[in-house]
Structure 1
Amino acid sequence: MQAVVLAAGKGTRLRPHTEDKPKVLVEVDGRPIIEDAFDNLLEIGVDELIVVVGYLKEQIINRYGDEYEGVPITYAHQREQLGLAHAILQAKPHVDGDFMLMLGDNVFRANLADVVNRQQEDRADAAFLVEQVPYEEASRYGVLDTNEYGEIVKVVEKPDDPPSNLVMTGFYTFTPAIFHACHLVQPSDRGEYELPAAIDLLIQSGRTIDAIRMEGWRVDVGYPEDRDRAAEQLQDESSRTGAIEAEIMEEPESATD
């Protein structure tokens, strides 16, 4: 399956880190954020990366060229940053069939493969990871409104008064139906073509949509403090992994006759 990685944003909230580089090249724990996205996608079997670039795009193109760890990269150009739905449409000419979508400014240690597997099993037009966040943070994301049976009835982008604290994270799988929905989306109050609005159109038209609870963690690197938090999480995980490996190495061999 192909994967579209969105990497066109200016990252104005992440300044001063983004004054001279695109947001996805800001380093977290010594590595650009986008490399974490690439590694996650390679781990679940992506066979082509389609990277949507915009702000200071030459830095990304010059750094990675036409492949990453042997996986080919194709670049799509978003000349104006008009929202995620608009960004996805820039990738459309390069997409052939179902595809993954990852926001290039998120750091994941989560069950991404579950999303791909569920979408294929259910033949869903969209599948994505969701997580519960504090209510005061929900307005930063696409928020899910559910009925009494837990079914998704609506998706709202960055609402002032969130209907819940269940939000979409930055990893999805789609069929090509999402492109038609993105074409139908109208600009939001922010003047952007929002991805949650496109997904909501799929829901309202009766398409199959799967929401998978996230297991693990992720950090949306939107502010400098998020960058620091992501680095701390990665360092803690590395320390735990190192401790487990050291413990295994110290275990005495089983006695034999």
Structure 2
Amino acid sequence: MQAVVLSAGKGTRLRPLTEEKPKALVEVDGRPIIEDVFDNLLAAGADELIVVVGYLKEKVMDRYGDSYRGVPITYAHQREQLGLAHAMLQVESLIDDDFMLMLGDNVFRANLEDVMNRQREDRADAAFLVEEVPYEEASRYGVLDTNEYGEIVEVVEKPDDPPSNLVMTGFYTFTPAIFHACHLVQPSDRGEYELSDAVDLLIQSGRTIDAIRMDGWRVDVGYPEDRDRAEERLRDETGRIVEQGAQTDGSSTSTTN
């Protein structure tokens, strides 16, 4: 399956970390965010990476060239950063069939394969991971409004008064139907073409959409403190893996009297 990575933004909220490098190359625990994104997508079965670049694009292209760990990379240039739906349209001509999408500023340790499996089983036009966040943080994301049966009735991008605290994360699978929706999206109050508005158009048109609760964790690296939080989570996880390995190979022992 092809995998698209949206990585064109300037990362203004991450300054000063992004003054001389694109957000994709900001390091988390010693490696660029985009490498963690690539590794997640490869583990989920991606056989081609399509990266949307923009701000300081040459630094990403020069660093990774035409492949990553043997998987080919194709680049698409978003000349103006006009939102995620606009970024999606830059790859429309490159997509052959169903595809994965990951935002290039998220660190994931989650059940990505579940999203793909559900989409295939339900023949859905979109499937994505969702999570509950504190209400005060929900306005940072695309927020889901559900009915009494738990069905999604609307997606609202960065609302001032969120209808819930259930939000889209940064991993999706789509059929090419998403491109038609992206073409129909109108600029939001922020002046951007929002991906959440495109997903909402699919919902309103009666398409099958699956939202899968996230099993694991992710950090949206939008601010410098988010980078620090992601590093803490990764180091905690590494520590647990090392400890479990030590117990498994017998190097951790106990003594009883």
What is the TM-score of this pair, normalised by structure 1?
A: 0.97
Count of residue pairs the alignment pairs up: 252
Q: How many Å separate the matches in 2 of 1:119 and 1:49? A: 20
Tell me, which stretches of 5 or more residues in structure 1 are unaligned?
253-257
Corresponding residue number in structure 2 for 1:151 = 151
Q: How many Å separate the matches in 1 of 2:189 and 2:225? A: 27
Determine if the alignment matches structure 1 residue 45 to structure 2 residue 45: yes
| Alignment of structure 1 residues 1-257 onto 2, 5 Å | 1-250=1-250
Deviations 1:188-230 (A, max 9, x none): 0000000000000000000000000000000000000000000
Q: How many Å separate the matches in 1 of 2:129 and 2:141? A: 13
Q: How many Å separate the matches in 2 of 1:96 and 1:63? A: 26
The aligned amino acid for 2:209 is: I
Tell me, which stretches of 5 or more residues in structure 2 are unaligned?
253-257
Report runs of 4+ in structure 1 exceeding 3 Å deviation.
none
Deviations 1:70-124 (A, max 9, x none): 0000000000000000000001111111000000100000001100110011100
Q: Secondary structure at the match of 2:96?
A: coil
Q: Secondary structure at the match of 1:250?
A: coil
TM superposition shift of 1:250: 0.7
TM superposition shift of 1:44: 1.1
The aligned amino acid for 1:13 is: R
The share of aligned pairs that are identical, in percent, is 82
Q: How many Å separate the matches in 2 of 1:200 and 1:247? A: 48
TM superposition shift of 1:251: 6.9
Q: How many Å separate the matches in 2 of 1:44 and 1:180? A: 26
Q: How many Å separate the matches in 2 of 1:30 and 1:73? A: 22
Deviations 1:22-52 (A, max 9, x none): 0010000000000000000000110000000
What is the TM-score of this pair, normalised by structure 2?
A: 0.97
Q: How many Å separate the matches in 2 of 1:104 and 1:34? A: 6
Deviations 1:107-151 (A, max 9, x none): 000001100110011100000000000000000000000000000
TM superposition shift of 1:175: 0.3
Q: How many Å separate the matches in 2 of 1:176 and 1:242? A: 42
Q: How many Å separate the matches in 2 of 1:227 and 1:88? A: 25
Q: How many Å separate the matches in 1 of 2:206 and 2:44? A: 29
Q: How many Å separate the matches in 2 of 1:218 and 1:59? A: 25
Q: Secondary structure at the match of 1:167?
A: strand
Q: Secondary structure at the match of 1:55?
A: coil
Q: How many Å separate the matches in 1 of 2:205 and 2:47? A: 31
Q: How many Å separate the matches in 1 of 2:113 and 2:179? A: 23
Q: CA RMSD of the aligned region, Å?
A: 0.8
